[in-house]
Amino acid sequence: VCGNLCRRELGFVRRRRSEAPHVEFPAVLVDTSTGRVESEFHAYVQPQEHPVLSEFCTELTGITQSQVEAGVPLPICLARFGRWVQSLQRERGVVFVKDGRVADLTGHPCAFVTWSDWDLGVCLLYECKRKQICKPEALNSWIDLRATYKVNHFGLVT
């Protein structure tokens, strides 16, 4: 059981699987014992390859063209996100689970929670590879809530 969870829900423009750029990058740190939000990170991301949002994307996400135009390119967003994660590690003792293990047993274990592997395991991974951007190591630690739900409620293994 994790003491802290970072929830992420990425906004992205739906295109071909390998070309879905992120347009929003939010995360929150939640104390699982109290349910309290401890810290937040949020950034709109300027899509570089397809800078104009489709009407479908705006209707689906509520994200407007002016919001992404005021955003930052993905490399800057990830650098800021990395600094936010480092501040959580330094100030709150957050330790991200890797391969189901926590290296520092004195810290507070933490993992990102997503609905499927799409956000971190597919979309962000492909975008970082395509753009030759280094993905923060902490983003390799997540819990797929959809898979967990299927196992716990239906006995299905994905």
Domain range summary for the chain, segments of one domain joined by +? 4-154
At 82 the pLDDT is 95
Among the residue ranges 2-6, 83-87, 145-149, 152-156, the one predicted with the least confidence is 2-6
* CA-angle at 132, arms to 46 and 45, nearest 5°: 15
CATH homologous superfamily of 4-154: Ribonuclease H-like superfamily/Ribonuclease H (3.30.420.10)
- At residue 38 the predicted structure's pLDDT band, cuts being 50, 70 and 90, is very high
Among the residue ranges 85-94, 101-110, 126-135, the one predicted with the least confidence is 101-110
- Cβ-based neighbour number of residue 131 at 10 Å: 13
Per residue in 91-120, is it b (16+ CB within 10 Å) or e — as a string?
A: ebebbbbeeeebeeeebbbbbbbbeeebbb
pLDDT > 90: percent of the chain: 37
* 5 pLDDT more than 60: no
Residues 6+ apart with CB under 8 A from 135: 78, 124, 125, 128
- At residue 85 the predicted structure's pLDDT band, cuts being 50, 70 and 90, is very high
CA 24 → CA 4, 37, 82, 104, distances in Å?
22, 19, 15, 31
At 134 the pLDDT is 92
Question: What integer is the mean pLDDT of 17-44?
Answer: 85
* CA-angle at 84, arms to 125 and 41, nearest 5°: 80
* 88 pLDDT more than 90: yes
Among the residue ranges 16-25, 32-41, 77-86, 129-138, the one predicted with the least confidence is 16-25
| HSE, side-chain direction, 13 A CA sphere, residue 101 | 3
Taking the model in full, what pTM does it have?
0.81
User: Residue 108: which of 36, 29, 26, 35 has the closest Cα?
Assistant: 29
At 17 the pLDDT is 47
